[in-house]
Structure 1
């Protein structure tokens, strides 16, 4: 995994890191979430990525617990669409260990359009990162 150059947001429940050399955002969610908190976290992410020009996102929710499925349609349709408008083309989503959170993630996927999203289990951090690296466009001469 890379060393991220810039911390864009760092709170007890949400961290957003930026690796400009490969245009990657790493978002780390921690703690208990419900629908309202999930939406608020998504809004915080959107507020902090405006000028990054990132095309890839590692969305790590492995440390999340709680039932936020009531926000799943909004996350899939609105949040992911906004990520796409800000340049995100592909997102690796690290799934939670918590079953209610896993259900919430699964409920989100049918609503996602315009951004390639692939789910990885909580113990597949390296595989998720490798998949994102495969999405990095080749350098142009």
Structure 2
């Protein structure tokens, strides 16, 4: 898998997966509303230029309870991502219980993207490779 780095910070790394033409987003460390908004605003300002419609959202290394960001993500960020062309998100759960709970809280607020959660990266990768076919049926 050929990857090209687009952004790197202590809490978020974004790569262009050159083989699959999607974004690979990796969240790391203690997350909170401020960190999430700052990171996602970078994404909104720069990622639409890529023309991708899929994102592999890896939260395996995220920790903490960031449910304060759930509503903002589901009702503001995800609709904006949809507006700029994103359709599919494979979201890999955090191993940290609090962060996993925060992901579930976010998904209850999300309506604009096809988002499927996974416990492992390989399953998420496989689903995202076939998301267009699966949702066309």
Q: Is the TM value for this pair above 0.5?
A: yes
Task: Indicate yes or no: 2:73 matched with 1:75.
Answer: yes
TM-score, length-scaled by structure 2: 0.90
Could you tell me which residue of structure 1 aligns to residue 21 of structure 2?
Answer: 23
Structure 1 counterpart of 2:131, from 109, 132, 135:
135
Single out whichever of 49-58 and 21-30 deviates more from structure 2: 21-30
Return 5+ residue gaps in structure 2 as ranges.
none
Distance 2:106 2:16 in 1: 24
Is the 8 Å Cα contact of residues 11 and 31 (structure 2) preserved in structure 1?
no
Give deviations 1:108-136, integer Å, cap 9, x for gaps.
11111121000111xx1111000000025
Runs of 4+ in 1 over 6 A off after TM superposition: none
SS at match of 1:72: helix
Q: Is the 2:2–2:18 Cα contact (8 Å) retained in structure 1?
A: no
CA distance in 1, matches of 2:55, 2:83: 13
Distance across 1 between alignment mates of 2:31 and 2:98: 10
- Indicate conservation of the 8 Å contact 2:89/2:116, yes or no: yes
Task: Calculate the TM-score normalised by the size of structure 1.
Answer: 0.88
Aligned to 2:100: 102
- What is the alpha-carbon root mean square deviation over aligned residues? 1.4
Higher helix share: 2
Contact persistence 1:20–1:54 (CA under 8 A): no
CA distance in 2, matches of 1:76, 1:10: 23
Match of 2:2 in 1: 3
Question: How many residues matched?
Answer: 133
SS of the residue 1:50 aligns to: helix
